[in-house]
Every structure is written in structure tokens, then in C-alpha cells.
Amino acid sequence: MLKKSLQAAEKKKYFRKAIVFVCFFMSGTMFFLFASSGLAKEDKTLRIASVANTISGVAKKDYKSTVVFLIGRAVKEKLPGYRLENSVLADTDSVVQNFNIGKIDVLTISSIDYLKIRSLVDIEPAFVSIRNGKPVNNYVLLVNKDKNIKTLEQLQNKKITIEKGMNGDVAILWLETMLLEHSLPKSSVFIQKFKWADKASKAVLPVFFGQADASIVQHYKFETMSAINPQVGKRLQAIYESPPLLDYLTCFRKGLDENIKEAVLNYSKMLESKPEGKQLLIVSRVEGITKYKNEYITTIVKLYEKFKILNAKAVDTK
């Protein structure tokens, strides 16, 4: 009797296991068939992100609303069924984190930040902005002629104004590299004070009025200010000029659908010809968009690598 009861229990246990296995197998099979048949819900979201320093000087709320409205319109026209997600990320750590969990498809990032993270994420440059008729621009170190400053060494314990954001990042990299080349201390020790300005004019005018000793801005912005007010060009002079440097670029996530890439690239080409596109360019403070070429980033790569080498040597000699 006991033996029969045990046998019955074993049979029930066996059938329970068999039922669980069959249910598990069928669930897996149904999921596979569901997905492969195209019935599974496809994620039709285009995730666009910018690092905060690339929109410095532009109100974040205004930038986001403009981008969502204009690019969202393009997404609806070119990518039926897709929706747009737009975000502004604080720094490169946030970029890497969001990339690695699949939350970024299109990213606008400063050239220096790109160099820092390109080995950490699957990213490929797509297009760059045009400023002053070209994608790369020179920076100048300006001083007031009345101060009689001729060399970098004379800027010790002086005040420097710099346009903040991506342009400021490039300016600081250039300055730090020059200081290392001249065997001078890093800027945090050598310069008495840095003042960050929302735009180039606010970086240049303090030097003009004698409230700061030097300023670093893009050369074409200084020329524009000098054309508007000739006294600026007469009173200020550039004592150093950088090679042409790329300030930022827009990238795709590697593996992004080619149709999406094409749609975004085609829309970027139409910006200059559409009223809403011109509005976006004005808000973003650029003249146009052009497809990325490796030659655009060559000089900033050389500068970045030179800085790393010189900085390593300076640390070793301490």
C-alpha cells in the first residue's frame, strides 16, 4: 500500500515537472515565433542627446523645445511611426552611461569630449557645424596693447576671460598645452583668475576696458567685433593664434539603422533652405551643417595628444 502511494506521488511529481517544462518550452517557442513574425512591438524611438557644454549661452529650455519641435517634425516626415526623445546630459560620464544602456542614437558632443569617450562607446562621427564658412576655426589669445604684454610668461598672476562651453574647453586645452611647451605651471597655478563669459563679446570687452589682462576667443568672432567697433581692433592684439580646431560634432550610435542615419543626414542638409531650419541654426549659433570628414578632427587630435605627452613628462619630472 505504502509502495503504491509512493509510486503515485512520484508519478504526480514527474507530471508536474513535465507540465512545467512543456509550459516553459511553449512560452519560449511562442515568444520566438511572435518576435520573428514581426508581431513583437518594435521600439520606434529616435533618442537625441547633447552634452551641456555644446549649448552654452543658449537657454536649455529654449534649445530643447526648438529641437523637439523642428527635428520632431522631420522625424514625422521622414520616419513615419517614430517618436523623438531629446535630452541634455551633464557630462561625459552621463554620455557613457546612457550609451551603454541604449539611450542615445544621435549625440552632439565637443571634440575634446569625443576624444575622451570614443574608445568607451560604439560611436561614429556623422556631421559637423559650419561657422565662419568652415567647420574648423582658429583661436587667439588677445591682450590690450596698453598693457604691453608680449609673451605668455607675462600673463603670470593675471586675469583671463574665456567663453564658456565647448569653445572654452578647446581654449583651455590650447592654453594648457602652450604653458607646458613654455615649461610654465598649469593654468590653475599660473593664472590668477579665470572669468567665464556666456559669449565672446563678454570675454573680449573686459580686456578692452582694462578689467582683464587677456582673453581667448575664436579669431573670427574677434574680427566680427572689430568690424562692428573698429576701436576693438585698434586697442586689442593677438599675441598667439592656434591652428584651426574643431569645436564639436554630431555622432551616430554604431549599428543605428541606415534608414534613420540617412533621414537625419538629409534633414540636416535641408536646414539652410527651410525657415524652421534657419531658426534652428540661429538658436544653435551655426551657419550650416556638413558631413564629417576625418581631416576636420586632425588638428584637435594632435593638440590633445601633444598635451597628454607634455603633461605626462611634466608629472614625471616633479
Domains in the chain and their CATH numbers? 45-131+247-293 (3.40.190.10), 139-243 (3.40.190.10)
Phi then psi for residue 292, to 5 deg, are -65, 140
Question: Burial, 215: exposed, middle or buried (Cβ in 10 Å; 0-12, 13-18, 19+)?
Answer: buried
pLDDT value of position 266: 79
pLDDT over threshold 60, residue 59: no
The region of weakest confidence among 72-76, 104-108, 121-125 is 72-76
pLDDT value of position 265: 80
Question: Burial, 163: exposed, middle or buried (Cβ in 10 Å; 0-12, 13-18, 19+)?
Answer: buried
Angle of the 60-78 helix axis to the 258-270 helix axis, nearest 10: 120
pLDDT value of position 154: 96
In the chain, pLDDT over 70 holds for what percent of residues? Answer: 79
Distance CA 88, CA 311 (A): 31
Higher pLDDT, 108 or 8: 108
Question: Would the pTM count as exceeding 0.95?
Answer: no
The average confidence (pLDDT) of the chain is 81
2 confidence band (pLDDT: 50, 70, 90):
very low
The region of weakest confidence among 1-15, 40-54, 57-71, 255-269 is 1-15
Higher pLDDT, 247 or 278: 247
The region of weakest confidence among 12-16, 65-69, 148-152 is 12-16
